Amino acid sequence: AGFKSAPFLEHGLDDWERLLRAHVRGAVIGTRAALRRMLPRRRGRILTVASTAGKYGSLNQAAYNASKHAVVGLTRSLALEVAPQGIRVNAICPNLVQTELFTAAQTDYMRMLGVNDPEQVLARIVARIPIGRTVTPEEVAALAVYLAADESDAMTGIALTLSGGFLLI
């Protein structure tokens, strides 16, 4: 549902709409609801979840990457808009996190990496990550807790990469 790897011309408009709806529209709807409650209080934290794919281009992932770039752009623009009202807006950009989304996208990853064995998919991906493993859901959650805490008050408009060294921007 949230990922598809295919050459640009093989991504139909339905694929584009599905990915943009899931990632961008979802972020907009959630952000609007939260912001309506935060603005009167002049305080709050909005966290979006993008991806390392929102920071670089990657082969056969134009629709997915465009949707994640849009989430990063939304985060940065909104951060500038609401900072004077005491609201901070940041994005978390993890690399691969082993979740149901990864399992659901296994076939796409197999095609993208040119392998036929599902076990090789994870091994090939992990081989490219300097720390030798994927990001855990707990690490993403811990970063979210920090960004929601008062200790991160000076951070806004940041798209934080959480990739085990895979992407250093």
Q: Is 64 a catalytic residue?
A: yes
Both tokens of 132, joined, read: 């030798």
Q: CA-to-CA distance for 78 and 119, rounded, in angstroms?
A: 40
Query: What DSSP state is assigned to residue 7?
Result: -
Strand ranges (E), the chain: 44-49, 87-94, 159-162
Given 56, 64, 109, 146, which residue is catalytic?
Answer: 64
Q: CA-to-CA distance for 13 and 67, rounded, in angstroms?
A: 13
Instruction: Please give the positions annotated as active site.
Output: 64
